[in-house]
């Protein structure tokens, strides 16, 4: 009986009180984005400060997106359910001259305020019958040229 109590005591002591934090993206994005100045910072400065972006898109202007996300495990009472600590997104718009044209910073609290469109697009196609699909596939096979053997 004494050994069981010793085993339970050692097992409880071996449990760590430090929480595991999973980090993804650029560290301290909320502090680093303050060093970026519109119409003054160029691409090279951004790459030195933040590194390569998580996502790039190029249409009329280049848009670079940086992400920072930290997730920690919850308490024992919540059975280790993960908890979102930090969720930051920085959207940088770079003009054709390579200068920073616009920057938008979103954190966990401001993302809740973003409104998404609720309208939906109706589908235009109609469900075809089996007979129509069968006849159209036969028509396609008849119209295609003969293969050379």
Q: Among 102-111, 119-128, 133-142, name the one with the lowest average pLDDT.
A: 119-128
The model's confidence at residue 149, banded by pLDDT at 50, 70 and 90, is very low
**Is the separation of the CB atoms in 69 and 23 below 8 Å?**
yes
pLDDT band at residue 7 using 50, 70 and 90 as cut-offs: low
Which residue has tokens 């994005």? 29
**pTM (two decimals):** 0.62
* Domain boundaries of the chain, sorted by first residue: 15-113
Matching residue, tokens 């970026």: 36
User: What is the reported pLDDT for 16?
Assistant: 58
- Read off the pLDDT of each residue in 115-125 and give the average, rounded to a whole number: 70
């Amino acid at each position: 009986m004494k050994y069981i109590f010793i085993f339970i005591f050692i097992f409880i002591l071996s449990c760590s009180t430090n929480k595991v934090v999973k980090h993804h993206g650029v560290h301290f994005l909320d502090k680093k984005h303050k060093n970026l100045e519109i119409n003054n910072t160029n691409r090279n400065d951004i790459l030195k400060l933040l590194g390569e972006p998580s996502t790039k898109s190029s249409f009329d202007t280049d848009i670079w997106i940086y992400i920072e996300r930290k997730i920690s495990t919850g308490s024992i009472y919540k059975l280790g359910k993960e908890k979102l600590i930090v969720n930051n997104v920085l959207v940088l718009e770079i003009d054709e001259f390579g200068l920073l044209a616009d920057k938008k910073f979103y954190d966990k609290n401001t993302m809740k305020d973003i409104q998404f469109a609720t309208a939906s697009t109706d589908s235009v196609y109609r469900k075809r019958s089996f007979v129509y699909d069968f006849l159209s596939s036969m028509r396609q096979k008849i119209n295609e040229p003969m293969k050379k053997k």
